[in-house]
Amino acid sequence: MSPAEARLKEVPSNMTEAEWSQRVNLAAAYRLVAMFGWDDLVDTHISARVPGPEHHFLINPYGLLFEEITASSLIKVDLYGNQLSESEYSINPAGFTIHSAIHEVREDAGCVIHLHTIDGVAVSSCADGLLPLNQIAQYVTHDLAYHDYEGVALDHDERPRLQHDLGTKNHMLLRNHGTLTVGRSVASAFERMYHLERACSIQVRTRTLGPTAYPVRDEVVDKNAKLFDNQDRVELRSNQLVWPPLLRKLDRVNPGYRN
């Protein structure tokens, strides 16, 4: 049996190979978030668009820990919140509000990640937001949007404001709430979140030292912004250099996400 034939045997008969591949990558992202300690019990969420003309996307069953998510347990929904795949679970209504807003208007939103980490929430709650204090932060700050907190995201009327505030950016601080990233692929959304979360943690640690941050010249910040603002390079790096070794690590420490 060829590798291609073996691959096809793994794909459930009720979905395309493209959807199954997206499910596998999204389930891996959930388990990687848990592995990095970014999860928040059963809250926060990651979505991935199902390849095809419909605006359908996959999201977690509400009630499973991130470390339990599998490719087959993910729930497919449309932009109206209708569940299109059978599950004993429902979906997080706040998660639907946030993710449907972005998938509705961003054709390039292959994946959207939203987290409530300690350092991410801390920086999102600071008036200064995220500052370009170091190289890691500068991966993010040229491409960073902000959205003011309106309470738990249950009101669908918030979606136009979220869409407007995000615009074409791929990183966002949800004020007093948490972090969010967008990628054409699961891999690029995950790498963006890694940099955003790391930048927030570095800033929290830097601020604990007092007003001692060494300044970065504006021309250096601008130079890095031009370097890092290449979306094709981001996708190439994420998918070819970063994601494969992350999956290998996940296969060692928490396999089963492909089920």
CATH number of 21-253: 3.40.225.10
Contact status, residue 121 vs residue 107, Cβ threshold 8 Å: no
Successive 10-residue mean pLDDT values, the chain, 259 residues: 44 83 98 98 96 93 97 96 92 94 96 98 97 96 97 94 98 98 98 98 95 92 91 92 98 96
- Check residue 5 and give its pLDDT: 39
